[in-house]
Amino acid sequence: MPLYTEKDMREQKSADAVLIIAGIAIVFINLPGMTVLAVLRDLLDASWGLGQMWAFSIIVSVLTLTSARLMTNGWRKAATYYAFICISVALVLAVCFFCLKQDFPARYLVHFFWPMITLQPL
């Protein structure tokens, strides 16, 4: 008798895919704050912990969205501007990492994940 049925394995793969997509969405939405905090950590040689980096980056992202709301007439327009900011930051970091072979985008992401992760430009 098998330990797992085919149905159990499909359900596990679906759950894993949902977790991966949710993780990517969280990082994408928080990318402006993560980038600002990573730059500050590098410039100030700060030794902030993982929890502090996440908490402060979320605060910076919320402040960015709030400032977009203050500059526009509604939340829908502010969310559109914020999505544009997120896409712009993601594109700049991707171009720097993959095209220009810079290591700082990987170093910035490592600040928010396990310090043991090392990413090299492809």
Helix %, strand %, coil % for the chain, to 5? 75, 0, 25
Average pLDDT over residues 83-93: 96
* Other residues' Cβ atoms within 10 Å of the Cβ of residue 72: 15
Among 1-10, 20-29, 51-60, 99-108, the least confident range? 1-10
Of the chain, the end-to-end C-alpha distance in Å amounts to 44
Which whole-number Å values give the CA distances from 36 to 7, 14, 27, 102, 120, in the listed order?
Answer: 44, 33, 13, 17, 21
Query: In this predicted model, what pLDDT tens digit does every residue of 57-73 receive, in sequence order?
Result: 999 999 999 999 999 98
